[in-house]
Amino acid sequence: MRRLALVVLAVFAATYAFAQTADKRRSGYADMDASVQKMQDDDTANPAMLWVQEGEALWGKPVGSANLACADCHTPARLGGMAGVAARYPAWSPALGRAIDLEGRLQLCRTLHQKGPALADESRELLALTAFVARQSRGQPVASPDDRRLDATLRSGETLYKRRQGQLNLSCAQCHDDNAGQKLAAVTIPQAHPTAYPLYRLEWQALGSLKRRLRNCLIGVRAEPYPYSAPEYVALELYLAKRAQGMKVEAPGVRP
């Protein structure tokens, strides 16, 4: 009898401990209709896979005055050769002396190694290459680097996230931390984890970057969006990546 009581007590204690440490983080995926979840999960139905295929073709295409393809340096060239890379961005770039996101890394390779012109922000080619690389981290945990050189950028990202902005005078945190899971009109406010980017949004009818999404929020609170090249986006992206550390990469995702 005493033994049973001990077992019951142990089970209760373990359950309690688990409940205390349970990860409350939740991807926006969990709040989607089953039909949209299915679209993301099925490569033959996920519209973002068109960009991935295009990215794969671009990966093998020589460009710039160096006449180098991405695949010439990054071997094996097949899908999977860049596994885990996207999960680590934004990361520190010694060449530039600042933090860069995955798009920034692709641009750097293009200008520095391939010696070609940078791609336009949010262009189809840049999104395609980003999607191709990000797809190879799908299922892996977000692994934002533990790198002291990123500290200042991370702090600035957190500050931006918590700063009220725009005519509506709202911060990211007020919706996505304090009111996540609540309804803004018909929409369930997500926790703002960046795990599915770049993603295909049915409303956009296109693939878009996390920057595009951040701009949507800024416009929503009637703040002036930063230009695409602004370091503020990288700082926010880094802060979001840290919050999502260990969550599964879903890229390229689908959202309504």
Partner 1 sequence: MRAWPLLAVALLACPVPSHADEELRSFLIVGDAIPDTLTGKPGDAARGRTVVATRQQGLCLLCHSGPFPEERFQGNLAPSLAGAGGRWSEAQLRLRLVDAQRLNPDTIMPPYYKVSGLQRVAPAFAGKTLLSAEQIEDVVAYLATLKD
Return the active site residues: 217
Q: What is the CA radius of gyration of the chain?
A: 20
> Interface with partner 1 by CB under 8 A: which range of 49-57, 84-92, 121-129, 200-208?
200-208
**Phi, psi torsion values for 98, nearest 5 degrees:** -155, 170
Q: Identify which of 187, 184, 202, 195 has the alpha carbon closest to the alpha carbon of residue 254.
A: 202
**Phi/psi zone of residue 230: left (φ > 0), alpha (ψ -120 to 50 degrees), beta?**
beta
From candidates 182, 227, 245, 246, binder to partner 1 by CB under 8 A: 182
Q: Is 9 in the site for partner 1 (CB under 8 A)?
A: no
Q: Which is nearer to partner 1, 128 or 223 (CB)?
A: 223
Separation between Cα atoms, residue 73 and residue 108, nearest integer Å? 14
From candidates 202, 227, 229, 246, binder to partner 1 by CB under 8 A: 202
Token pair 């416009």: residue: 219
Separation between Cα atoms, residue 29 and residue 191, nearest integer Å? 11
> Interface with partner 1 by CB under 8 A: which range of 69-77, 91-99, 117-125, 210-218?
210-218
Q: Is 60 in the site for partner 1 (CB under 8 A)?
A: no
Q: Which of residues 144-163 bind partner 1 (CB under 8 A)?
A: 163
47 preceded by cis ω (within 30°)? no
Q: Which is nearer to partner 1, 68 or 217 (CB)?
A: 217
Separation between Cα atoms, residue 108 and residue 87, nearest integer Å? 18
Q: Is 184 in the site for partner 1 (CB under 8 A)?
A: yes
Q: Which is nearer to partner 1, 223 or 244 (CB)?
A: 223
**Phi, psi torsion values for 187, nearest 5 degrees:** -95, 130
Q: What long-range pairs does 15-20 form, CB within 8 A, spacing at least 24?
A: none
Q: Is 229 in the site for partner 1 (CB under 8 A)?
A: no
Q: Which is nearer to partner 1, 146 or 203 (CB)?
A: 203
From candidates 53, 159, 165, 231, binder to partner 1 by CB under 8 A: 165
Distances (CA, A) of 65 to 68, 117, 136, 191: 8, 10, 28, 44
> Interface with partner 1 by CB under 8 A: which range of 58-66, 123-131, 221-229, 233-241?
221-229
> Interface with partner 1 by CB under 8 A: which range of 6-14, 17-25, 216-224, 243-251?
216-224
Q: Which is nearer to partner 1, 96 or 187 (CB)?
A: 187
Task: Provide the residue type at 200 as one letter.
Answer: Y
| Residues engaged in binding partner 1 (CB under 8 A) | 163-170, 174-175, 178-179, 182-187, 189, 201-203, 216-225, 255-256
